[in-house]
Amino acid sequence: MSDDFKTGDPISIGYGERRIIGRVRLASANGRSLMLEFEGILGGHVGMMPVLLGEDALFRSIVTQEVVQLRRPAPIQTEDTTHATV
């Protein structure tokens, strides 16, 4: 499922046993084709990875055809200081 990823969205990228945080650099209008941007190397992709949503509802690297798991990253937990006592 495409989860309606849009250009600029932060994204958690799973490839093989690795998972990293990146962002959607570019998304097609229908959300089936994405260019992912991240720091580092992931499955031979250096800094960017083009993916395509297949009829099986799985994103795959256009280069390697390996499944790429995409999801929105969990929100960052911040400490609530509104009720702090001194």
Domain boundaries, the chain: 10-71
pLDDT of residue 80: 64
- Please, what is the Cα angle at 31 between 26 and 36, to 5 degrees? 35
Residue 18 to residue 2: CA distance in whole angstroms = 20
Q: What is the pTM of this model?
A: 0.81
Q: Is the pLDDT of residue 1 over 60?
A: no
Count Cβ atoms below 10 Å from residue 40 Cβ, excluding itself.
10
pLDDT of residue 75: 76
pLDDT of residue 74: 80
Per-residue pLDDT tens over the stretch 29-85: 998 999 999 999 998 999 999 999 999 999 999 999 999 999 998 877 767 666 655
Q: Is the pLDDT of residue 18 over 70?
A: yes
Q: What are the angstrom distances between the C-alpha of 1 and each of 9, 31, 47, 54, 60?
A: 16, 10, 24, 9, 12
